[in-house]
Chains A and B, each alone.
Chain A
Amino acid sequence: MFNMKPPFRMMIASNLTDGHPRNSLELMDELRPLYGTERQFTREVVESHLQSLKAVGIVRDDEAEVDADGRLLVRYAITDFGRDKLRSSL
C-alpha cells in the first residue's frame, strides 16, 4: 500500500529467496540503498533479525567464519517453510 517498502525483517528474508546463503554484512551491502539512511540499519539489528528468523524456521544457518574482529559471521539460507511463509505474506 502507498508504494511502501516492505518491513525490514521481511526484506532481509526476501533477499535470501534466490537460494544463495548470505551473512549479515553481505545483506547490509544489498539493502543499504533501501534502508541505509535509517538508524535501525546496523549490524546488530540485522543479526538479531536473522537469529529470530532462524529460531522460527524461516532461515537456517549455513557456513560460518570468524571475521577480522574475531566475531562469528554466519551465512543464512532460506528454508522451504520460509519461502512459503514469504509467499503467503506478500
Chain B
Amino acid sequence: MMTTSATIAQLKERHDLAFAKKGLAWALGSGMIWGLEGVVLGMALALAPFADSPLWLLAPLTASCMHDCTAALWTLAYNWRTGRLREVGRSIFSKPGRFVCLGALCGGPIGMGGYLVALKLAGPAYVMPITSLYPAVASVLAMIFLKERISRRAWLGLGLCIAGAFIIGYTPPESGVSDHFYLGLGIALLATIGWGSEGVLATYGMDLIDPTVALNIYQIVSGVFYLFVMLPLLGGWIVLSSALTSTSGLILVGAAFLGSCSYLLWYRAMNMTGVSRAMAMNITYALWGILFSALLTDVEITRNLIAGAVVITIGMVLVVGNPKEIANLRNVA
C-alpha cells in the first residue's frame, strides 16, 4: 500500500513537471518562430507597395492589418480542424472573453499601432529601449492582478532577457530630434503598457477559456479594429487593395501563418508557466530573429549580437530555474 501511494505521488510529480516543461518549451518555441516571422515580415515590407517611402505609417499599419486578419483565418482553420469552432462563438460573448477582447485592443492597435507611430516620431534609438520593457510591465501587472509568484531569480532572468534584447536591437541615436519627439516617447510608453496589459488581460480570460480560442478572439478583434476603424481613418484601404494582389501580400500570408503558430504557443504557455516566464522566453525572438536573418539574408554577426545572445541565454536559464516551482503559478487558495 505504501509502495502504491509512493508511486502515485511520484507519478503526480512527474505529471506536473511534464506539464511545466511543456509550457516552457512552447514559450521558447514561440520566441523562435516569432524571430523567423519577423524576418519573413521584413521581406514583405521591403517590397511594393509597403516599401514606398511616402507611406511611412500607412504601410506598416496596413501590413499589421493584413497580418492580423490573415492570422485570424489561419487560427480559425486550426480551431475548425480541432473541433473548437463553436467554442470561438460561445467564448467571445462570455465575460472572460471580454477581457480577451480588451487585451486584443491593448496589444494590437495600442501596442503595435503606438509602437509604429512612436518609431516615426522619436526614432528607434529611444523607442526600442522603452518598448523592450513590456515583459517587465506585464510581470508587475501579473503580480498585482493575477497574484503570480515570481521569484527573485526569475526577476533577474527577466531583466537579463530584456537587456539582451536591447543590446541586440540597439541603434545609435541620430542627431537632432523631431518636433514631436516627446510625444513619440509618450506614445512608446503607451505601447509598452498596451503590450504588457495584453498578456495579463488575455491570461485572466484564459483562466476559463481555451488559449487557442482566446488567441482567435484576439486576432479577430484586432484585425476588425484595424480594418474598419484604423485604416479607414488613415485612408489605408488603397494600400491594402494593392497589397492583396502583390508578391508582398503573398509573403505576408506566410508570415501570418508563422505569427499564428508563434502566438498559439505563446498563449498556451502563458496559461501553463505564467505570464512573466512566457514573456521572458518570448522576448528571445530578438536573438532568433538575428540568427534567422544571418541564415536567410545578408545580415552579419556583430559583437552586439554575440553579447546580447550570451545575456539572453543566461537570462533564460535563470527564468526557467527549477520547473518544479511552476506547478502552482499563483498565490491563491
| B272 contact from A4, A52, A61, A80, Cβ within 8 A | A52
Write out, one digit per residue, whether chain B residues 305-329 have a CB within 8 A of any chain A CB (1) or not (0): 0000000000000000000001111
| B93 contact from A2, A13, A65, Cβ within 8 A | A2
Distance in Å from the Cβ of B210 to the closest Cβ of chain A? 6
Hey, which chain A residues are within 8 Å of B11, CB to CB? 64, 66, 72
Return the chain B residue nearest A52 by Cβ. B271
A21 to B86, CA, bound (A): 28
Hey, which chain A residues are within 8 Å of B15, CB to CB? 51, 72, 74
A57 within 8 A of B: yes
Distance in Å from the Cβ of B275 to the closest Cβ of chain A? 11
Count residues of B near A (Cβ-Cβ below 8 Å).
Answer: 37
A28 to B210, CA, bound (A): 17
| A7 contact from B16, B19, B90, Cβ within 8 A | B90
Does A40 contact B82, Cβ atoms closer than 8 Å? yes
Hey, which chain A residues are within 8 Å of B333, CB to CB? 57, 79-81
Does B87 contact A40, Cβ atoms closer than 8 Å? yes
Return the chain B residue nearest A63 by Cβ. B8
A68 within 8 A of B: no
B173 within 8 A of A: no
Return the chain A residue nearest B9 by Cβ. A64
| B207 contact from A2, A5, A51, A56, Cβ within 8 A | A56
Does A86 contact B208, Cβ atoms closer than 8 Å? yes
A58 within 8 A of B: yes
Does B210 contact A55, Cβ atoms closer than 8 Å? no
Distance in Å from the Cβ of A74 to the closest Cβ of chain B? 7
Provide the main secondary structure of the chain B interface.
Answer: helix
Hey, which chain A residues are within 8 Å of B210, CB to CB? 7-9, 40, 49
Hey, which chain A residues are within 8 Å of B332, CB to CB? 56-57, 79, 81
B96 within 8 A of A: yes
Hey, which chain B residues are within 8 Å of A66, CB to CB? 7-8, 11
A90 to B95, CA, bound (A): 7
A35 to B261, CA, bound (A): 26
A10 to B209, CA, bound (A): 7
Does B95 contact A89, Cβ atoms closer than 8 Å? yes
A74 to B100, CA, bound (A): 30
Does A89 contact B94, Cβ atoms closer than 8 Å? yes
Does A55 contact B327, Cβ atoms closer than 8 Å? yes
Name the interface residues of A70-90: CB closer than 8 Å to any CB of B: 72, 74, 79-81, 85-86, 88-90
Does B207 contact A7, Cβ atoms closer than 8 Å? no
Which B positions have Cβ atoms within 8 angstroms of A?
7-8, 11-12, 15-16, 19, 82-84, 86-87, 89-91, 93-97, 146, 206-211, 213, 271-272, 326-330, 332-333
18 more contacts with CB within 8 A, not counting A7-B94, A10-B208, A53-B207, are A7-B91, A7-B208, A7-B209, A9-B210, A38-B84, A38-B87, A40-B82, A49-B210, A52-B211, A52-B271, A55-B328, A56-B329, A61-B12, A66-B11, A72-B15, A79-B332, A86-B208, A89-B96
Q: Which 4 A-B pairs have the closest CB atoms?
A: A39-B83, A57-B332, A81-B332, A40-B83
29 pairs, CB–CB < 8 Å, chain A vs chain B: A1-B93, A2-B93, A4-B89, A4-B93, A6-B90, A7-B87, A7-B91, A7-B96, A10-B96, A10-B208, A38-B83, A51-B16, A51-B272, A52-B271, A52-B272, A55-B272, A56-B146, A56-B332, A57-B329, A57-B332, A58-B208, A64-B8, A64-B12, A65-B8, A72-B8, A74-B12, A80-B333, A81-B332, A86-B208
